[in-house]
Structure 1
C-alpha cells in the first residue's frame, strides 16, 4: 500500500506519501482504502489507522524509479485533504516536477482546495523552492506540470455540477473525471434532459478523459447499465477518451430466456420444465434495477427492486420502462465489457 504495482486498470502503480482520509460525499460511503487501513491499523503502512498521516520516507520514492509509469498519487488518501499542509503538497508536486518520465494521476474530492492552491503564485514559488532543495540548479519548469493529470470524483449529478466547473477552472495539462462508484445518471454538461442533444464537454478548458465504473464489495450499490452508456455516449459525442473500469459487484444479466410460449404454455414434461427453469435462472436476472429514487440530504439515492418471481418468467412478465435486468455476479464475473467490448481509451499526454 506504500508504493507498488497495482491491479487498478487505468494506472501502473500507486504512490502514497499520505494515507488516511475522511468522508465528504456519498462516493465515500464504502471506501476501500478505509477498509484496508483498518485491517492493517498499527502496522508500518498504517500506523494511525485511517487518520490522515504524512509519510516522510515516501516523498522521494519516484526519484529512484527508472521505468516510466502512470502513477496514481495517494490511492489511500486525498492529496488536498484539509489536514495535509500546503508545504507537504508542494513537496509532492516538486517531486513530480523532477520526474517527467512518469505520468502522475491525482484524483480528489477536495476540488476547491485544489483549485485555490494550484492557482496560487505563493504555492508555485513553494514548489520551486522544494525543487531547488532536492536538485540544486535544476532550472526552470513549466506550470501546470505537463506530466500531471488532475481529476475529480463525480458519483452523481449533484457532485458533477459542483466539481466539474472547479476542475475546469484549475490549471492542468490533462483534466479527468472518475465516475466511480457511479451512483446515478450523470450529465457531464448539466442535468440530463430527455431528447436534448449532448453539449460539448467544454468550450475552452475541457475534460480530457472520463473513467466510469460500478462499486464492488459486500455493500456495493448497483449501477444501472444505461448510466454507463449515457456517459460513454457523451464522451463519444465530444471526442473524449472513455475508460470503463468495471461493473463491480452488480452487472447486466442480458439473458431473458423464453421457457415457453406464454400463449400456449409448457408442452414438455415436468422434468424438462424444471431443467429449463434452472438453466434460465442461472443465466437470467435475479434483481431488477427500478431506477426509482428518493431524496436524502439533497442527494438522489436509488434502490433495487427484487422481483417476486423466478427469472425464468422475466420475459413473459416484462420490465417497466427505464429498468434493466441485473444480477449480483461479483466483480470478477461481472467483468468490464460494455455492449460487447471493453473501453480502454486514454488521453494523449501533453508534449
Structure 2
C-alpha cells in the first residue's frame, strides 16, 4: 500500500512518498485510499491516518529499483495537495528525472497547482540553458554541461507522464484545459470512477503554436519536432476508464464507457479499460424457452432454468437520467420488478441499459467482449 508491486492494472508498482489527502470533487466520495488509511491509522504506513504526511524514508526509493517499471506516484495521496510544500514536489520531480529507466505516472485532481508548478519548472530550465549562450568562451558555450542543459530545456522529460482525474463532463471541462497547458511528454486522463458521460475528443488536437494551425512544410523544424499534423499537435496521449468498486459504488452506464472507447479509436488515442467496477452489464431478457412453443421440460428443469436466468439477468436499469445536486449531475437506477425470464420484459427504451451488481471480480474488464489494454508508445 505504500511502495509495492500492485494490482492496479495500468501500472507496475506504486510509490508513496506522501500519504493522506482531502476531497475536492465527487470522484473522491468513496476514496479507496481513505478507507485503507483509516483501517491502518497509527501504523508505520499511516501514522497520521489520512492526514497529509511526508515519508522522508521513501522519497529516494526509486534509486534502489533495478528493474524498469511503470510507477504510479502517490496512489495514496495527491502530489499537488495544498499541504505538500513546493520543495517536496521539487524533490520528487528531481528523483523522477534522475531515474529515466522508470516511467512515472503522476495523477492529480489539483490541476491548477500542477500546471503552475510544472510551467515554472520548465521556464527555469530554459533560463538556465540560455545562460550558456552568454559564456565568454566557445568551449564553455559548447561544453557537455551546456549541451545537456539545452537538451533538457528543449522538451519535458519523456519518463514523466502527467494526468488528471476526470469523472464527468463538468470536471473534464475544468481539468483538461489546465492539463493541456502543462508541459509534459505524455498527458493522460483517468476517467475513473466514471460518474457521467465525458466528451474529450475536442481537446485531443490543438492548433500548432508554431504555424498557428495553418500547417507547415518540411523546412519548418519546430513544427516537425512538435509532431504537427495539418497544423495541429496531439495534446492527449492516453485515456484510462473504469467504474467504481466498493460497497457504496455508483453504477457506470455502459454507454459512457463505449463512448470513451469510440472517441479514442476515432482520434487514435490508446485506450485502457480498467474495470466495470461493482456494477456491470447483464442481459435484460434471458429466455428459458421459445415464447411460441412454451416450456416442454419438467417442473424441476423449469425451476433450474429460471434460477440460471435470475443468476445471469439484469436486476436494475441505468436510466441515464440525471438531476442537479449541489452543482453536480446525479444519476439514478431503476430496480426491475419482473424476472429476466418473464414474458412481461418486452424491451428497454432507448438510452437505458440493463445492469446488475456483480462485484468487481465477476464484472471483469471486458468491454463488448474485448480487453482494452493499450498504453502510449
| TM-score normalised per structure 2 | 0.83
Per-residue CA deviations over 1:146-205 (Å, capped at 9, x if unaligned) read: 11000000000000011111101100000000000000111114xxxxxxxxx5722235
- Aligned twin of 2:279: 250
- Aligned twin of 2:133: none
- Aligned twin of 1:304: 333
The alignment status of 1:154 with 2:154, answered yes or no, reads no
- Aligned twin of 1:194: none
Q: Aligned pair count?
A: 329
Following superposition, the deviation at residue 124 of structure 1 comes to 4.3
Aligned positions of 1:170-185 closer than 5 A: 170-185=182-197
Following superposition, the deviation at residue 31 of structure 1 comes to 0.2
- Aligned twin of 1:343: 372
Following superposition, the deviation at residue 73 of structure 1 comes to 0.2
Secondary structure, counterpart of 1:119 in structure 2: helix
- Aligned twin of 1:293: 322
Structure of higher CA gyration radius: 2
Following superposition, the deviation at residue 274 of structure 1 comes to 2.5
The alignment status of 1:97 with 2:97, answered yes or no, reads yes
- Aligned twin of 2:362: 333
Per-residue CA deviations over 1:106-157 (Å, capped at 9, x if unaligned) read: 00000000001111159846xx9xxxxxxxx996445522110000000000
Secondary structure, counterpart of 2:342 in structure 1: helix
- Aligned twin of 1:34: 34
Take 1:303 and 1:79, find their aligned partners in 2: how far apart are those partners? 33
Computed over aligned residues only, the root mean square deviation of the Cα atoms, in angstroms, reads 2.1
Aligned positions of 1:158-307 closer than 5 A: 158-189=170-201, 199=202, 201-203=204-206, 204-254=233-283, 256-262=285-291, 266=295, 270-307=299-336
Take 1:158 and 1:314, find their aligned partners in 2: how far apart are those partners? 40
Gaps of 5+ in 2: 129-144, 207-232
Aligned positions of 1:64-79 closer than 5 A: 64-79=64-79
Point out the more displaced range, 330-339 or 277-286: 277-286
Gaps of 5+ in 1: 129-136, 190-198
Take 2:359 and 2:300, find their aligned partners in 1: how far apart are those partners? 30
Take 1:239 and 1:115, find their aligned partners in 2: how far apart are those partners? 25
Take 1:77 and 1:36, find their aligned partners in 2: how far apart are those partners? 12
Structure 1 residues 315 and 184 mapped into 2: Cα distance closer, same or farther (>3 Å)? farther
- Aligned twin of 1:193: none
Q: 2:157 aligns with which of 145, 169, 187?
A: 145
Following superposition, the deviation at residue 244 of structure 1 comes to 0.3
Structure 1 residues 247 and 205 mapped into 2: Cα distance closer, same or farther (>3 Å)? same
Following superposition, the deviation at residue 241 of structure 1 comes to 0.2
Following superposition, the deviation at residue 313 of structure 1 comes to 2.1
Contact 2:78/2:107 (<8 A) preserved = yes
Contact 2:104/2:160 (<8 A) preserved = yes
